[in-house]
Amino acid sequence: MSDARNEANTTDGPKPARLDLARTALFVPATRPERIAKAFAAGADAVIVDLEDAVAADAKGWARDTLTRVFDQPQEFDLDGAAQPIAIRFSTPSSEDGKQDIDWLESIVTDDARVARLDSIMVAKIETTAELDLVAKVLDASSAAAGVSLVPLIESPAGIVNAAELATHPRVSRLGLGAIDMAVELGCEVRSTTMDYVRAQLVIACALAGKQGPLDSPSAEFKDDELVRSDTEQVKRAGCTGKLCIHPRQIPIVAEVFAPTDEEIDWARRVLEVQDGLGQVDGQMVDRPVILRARRILGV
């Protein structure tokens, strides 16, 4: 992949953040910090502490202060410091809440110990690279934040139109889909051919940029295991490489669907043993796209 954070296996650059390669990513409200450790214990590849939709308008300031305590005193919340980096979802930078989220980030990046506990930042309702730049500028000011990536959440028609450009932003590791907001904007059902088209646009944008495939939107019906499974199977076939979760019971289902088969793992390992352009595996020439697919299967 072209982004250094996704080339950690072959460069000396920053290691990939959890959200960069996650197959399962579980949301936790910033107002419930005691759930963060439980989310990791549930097996989520990444935990996203939410400062956006999951926090009431009059509680956002308190939520940011609480999140600072999590960064400063991880043991108080049964967390193992930098060994469990946390992703965070910000409100859109064009909103007042988003501006305050960015102000909070400025206080985090001044402390290397805090930055070490920061995984990635998911930014809600992104439509332009200029919005991403507002967050990236703060990260760029800290050398310790070199490995902190951005995951834009695409939730509007403008976001879809600009998806290819958003995916090329140097801080972006992959795109995410907010299907419920998108469906409202488009006047369609969450499960519809229109949303299939939207999802395909994100898959194509990530592929063009050489980035990890997108994170799909959560399945809202978290108590319906079979529906969660069928949703996940469908988006995997479409090219998504992970799915957001809103309840721990979704994690093992999503993880099982996205987990590579033994045959896929064997194939991927044999591909990575072959030098680029100098051999073949199962009758297929090993070139860059084949290597990228192998790395995605193995998560390296």
**67-110 residue pLDDT tens:** 999 999 999 999 886 678 999 999 999 999 999 999 999 999 99
Q: Is the pLDDT of residue 8 over 50?
A: no
Instruction: Return the CATH number of the domain spanning residue range 4-259.
Output: 3.20.20.60
Please report, for the chain, the start and end positions of each structural domain, with discontinuous segments joined by +.
4-259, 260-300
The band of 1, judged by pLDDT with boundaries at 50, 70 and 90, is: very low
171-187 confidence digits (pLDDT tens): 999 999 999 999 999 99
Q: 285 or 224: which carries more pLDDT confidence? A: 224
Arithmetic mean of pLDDT, 126-136: 97
Q: Rounding to the nearest 10 degrees, give the CA dihedral for residues 163, 165, 168, 172.
A: -50
* Core vs surface per residue 258-267: b (16+ CB within 10 A) or e: beeeeeeeeb
Q: Is the pLDDT of residue 287 over 80?
A: no
Instruction: Quote the pLDDT of residue 15.
Output: 57
141-159 confidence digits (pLDDT tens): 999 999 999 999 999 999 9
User: CB within 8 A of 241, min separation 6: which ones?
Assistant: 23, 174, 212, 213, 214, 215, 258, 296
Instruction: Quote the pLDDT of residue 183.
Output: 97
Instruction: Quote the pLDDT of residue 14.
Output: 56
Contact 248, 26 (CB under 8 A): yes
Q: Which two tokens stand for residue 98?
A: 């988003």
Q: Is the pLDDT of residue 6 over 50?
A: no
The band of 277, judged by pLDDT with boundaries at 50, 70 and 90, is: low
C-alpha distances out from residue 290 to 5, 159, 160, Å: 19, 29, 27
Secondary structure of the chain in HEC code, one letter for each residue: CCCHHHCCCCCCCCCCCHHHHCCEEEEEECCCCHHHHHHHHCCCCEEEEECCCCCCHHHHHHHHHHHHHHHHCHHHHCCCHHHCCEEEEECCCCCHHHHHHHHHHHHHHCCHHHHCCEEEEEECCCCCHHHHHHHHHHHHCCHHHCCCEEEEEECCHHHHHCHHHHHCCCCECCCEECHHHHHHHHCCCCCCHHHHHHHHHHHHHHHHCCCCCCEECCCCCCCCHHHHHHHHHHHHHHCCCEEEECCCCHHHHHHHHHCCCHHHHHHHHHHHCCCCCCCEECCEECCHHHHHHHHHHHCC
The letter for the amino acid at 85 is P
Q: Is the pLDDT of residue 131 over 70?
A: yes
Instruction: Quote the pLDDT of residue 210.
Output: 87
pTM, whole model, 2 decimals? 0.86
